[in-house]
Amino acid sequence: MTITLSPAPDAYIVVAEVVHGPHLAPRLGGGLYCSPECAEDGVRDLVDALKREEGGSGFVLPYQGRAIGCVVTRGGRMWAVQILARSELPAV
């Protein structure tokens, strides 16, 4: 019996970045996900956390096969929340 190993699928993370207003460091979601579909829960969770912490409104929409989120806070920040594959992250 021959065992064939296939490459591991890409891991996905959820990242929130300030795209307008007073700058803050990017925020990571709660963990690694096996697919963009699984990471949608992470987008919703991070959008809800930012709304609670900074006060404001947010929403989640589909865009090019992945969920994206936007949060606008009372302090004048606009956050973009997106799903990124490990291969899409910049090399450090």
Residues 53-88: tens digit of each pLDDT: 999 999 999 999 899 999 999 999 999 999 999 888
CA 72, CA 60: separation in Å to the nearest integer? 12
Length of the chain: 92
pLDDT at 92: 53
Beta carbons of 32 and 13 less than 8 angstroms apart = yes
Mean pLDDT of 18-43: 94
CA 55, CA 71: separation in Å to the nearest integer? 9
Beta carbons of 33 and 39 less than 8 angstroms apart = yes
Is the per-residue pLDDT at 89 higher than 80?
Answer: no
- Over the stretch 35-56, which tens digit does the pLDDT of each residue have? 999 999 999 999 999 999 999 9
